[in-house]
């Protein structure tokens, strides 16, 4: 969960989000080094009147500033492609949940059970209990088992939506007539909040997502009580 005036990412709660945070730090360090070098060269050019003409015309310098950017791009591209394929990888999911976007609420269906589905609406501000988060609490949370691979099937019944949970590294578009899928694995229990991340109309800001990750035994008890 984000806190006021937070500048960085939320704490990672899945292996994919941990990889994304490491890649962000890796890329940010490269950008920082390039920016420092460019600022240093600019400061030298502004503070000295001397010009080394032989260096300006050297073939070796042109070769270096052509090859070096290519190497830097490769250093960024290879980890990025690795994470991209990891995000698309789905290995024997233990559970499948179908998510449908509506104006303006989400509906969920546990396809491995015969009759386990519900709608999830945002709780209006006057109805919040003490300690609840405004614009983020829902009447029906999505309860899922932790430390198990879960497949999310995401679509929409009206307009474009986007199902996003930042702390789990998830953001998948919900497109009418198209079924997208995403993999979800949580390494720890807890409540994880998200929102619709695609402008979908006047109440776009009022489509929160709440995932409640629990141990497998608690999930089984919950599913039996819901059927």
- pLDDT > 70? residue 53: no
Instruction: Report the chain's mean pLDDT, rounded to a whole number.
Output: 90
The mean pLDDT value for 117-135 works out to 92
Q: Which of 86-95, 112-121, 155-164 is the least confident region?
A: 86-95
CATH 2.60.40.420 location in the chain: 95-226
* Residues 46 and 202: beta-carbon distance below 8 Å: no
The mean per-residue pLDDT over the stretch 174-182 comes to 93
- Evaluate if residue 209 carries a pLDDT over 70: yes
CA 207 – CA 122 distance, rounded (Å):
6
pLDDT, position 48: 81
Write out the CATH class of domain 15-88. Answer: mainly alpha
Instruction: Identify the pLDDT of residue 56.
Output: 63
Tell me the average pLDDT across 193-203: 91
Q: Assess whether pLDDT exceeds 70 at residue 217.
A: yes
Could you give the CA distance from residue 76 to residue 71 in angstroms, rounded to a whole number?
9
Span(s) in the chain for CATH 1.10.287.90: 15-88
Q: What are the tens digits of pLDDT across the range 184-194?
A: 999 999 999 99
- Give the distance between the most distant pair of CA atoms in the chain: 81
| Burial degree of 156 (CB within 10 A; 0-12, 13-18, 19+) | buried
| Beta pairing class for 150-156 and 95-102 | parallel
DSSP per-residue letters across the chain: ---TT--SPPPP-SHHHHHHHHHHHHHHHHHHHHHHHHHHHHHHHHH-----HHHHT-HHHHHHHHHHHHHHHHHHHHHHHHHHHHHH---S-SEEEEEEEETTEEEEEETTSSS-EEEE-BPPGGGPPTTPPTTT-BSS-EEEETTS-EEEEEEESSS-EEEEEGGGTEEEEE-BT--EEEEE--SS-EEEEEEE-S--STTGGG-EEEEEEE-HHHHHHHHHHH-
- The arithmetic mean of pLDDT across residues 20-47, rounded, is 93
pLDDT at 191: 93
Instruction: Kindly calculate the radius of gyration of the chain based on its CA atoms and give it in whole angstroms.
Output: 24
pLDDT at residue 175, rounded to an integer: 94
Angstrom distance (rounded) from CA 115 to CA 108:
11
pLDDT of residue 55: 65
Residue 61 has pLDDT above 90, yes or no: no
CATH, domain 95-226, list 3.40.50.720, 2.60.40.3140, 1.10.10.10, 2.60.40.420 = 2.60.40.420
Dihedral, 204, 205, 206, 207 alpha carbons, nearest 10: 60
Kindly tell me if the per-residue pLDDT of 214 is higher than 70.
Answer: yes
pTM: 0.84
Position 58 scores a pLDDT of: 72
Average pLDDT over residues 148-172: 93
Banded model confidence at residue 211, pLDDT cuts 50, 70, 90: very high
Between these two residues, 58 and 157, which has the higher pLDDT value? 157
* Closest alpha carbon to 14 in 121, 169, 128: 169
């Amino acid at each position: 969960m984000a806190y006021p005036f937070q500048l960085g990412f939320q704490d990672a709660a899945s292996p994919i989000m941990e990889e994304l945070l490491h890649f962000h730090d890796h890329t940010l360090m490269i950008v920082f080094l390039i920016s420092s070098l460019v600022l240093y060269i600019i400061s030298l050019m502004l503070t000295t009147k001397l010009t080394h003409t032989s260096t300006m015309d050297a073939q070796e310098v042109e070769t270096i500033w052509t090859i070096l950017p290519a190497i830097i791009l490769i250093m960024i591209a290879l980890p990025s492609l690795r994470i991209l394929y990891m995000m698309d990888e789905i290995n024997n999911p233990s559970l499948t949940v179908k998510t449908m976007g509506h104006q303006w609420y989400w509906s969920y269906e546990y396809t491995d059970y015969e009759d386990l589905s519900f709608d999830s609406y945002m709780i209006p501000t006057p109805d919040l209990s003490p300690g609840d988060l405004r614009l983020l609490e829902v009447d029906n949370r999505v309860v899922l088992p932790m430390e198990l691979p879960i497949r999310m099937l995401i679509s929409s019944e009206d307009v474009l939506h986007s199902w996003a949970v930042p702390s789990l590294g998830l953001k998948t578009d919900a497109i009418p007539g198209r079924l997208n899928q995403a993999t979800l694995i949580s390494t720890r229990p807890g409540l994880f909040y998200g929102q619709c991340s695609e402008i979908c109309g006047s109440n776009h800001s009022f489509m929160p997502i709440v995932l409640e990750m629990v141990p497998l035994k608690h999930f089984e008890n919950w599913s039996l009580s819901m059927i």
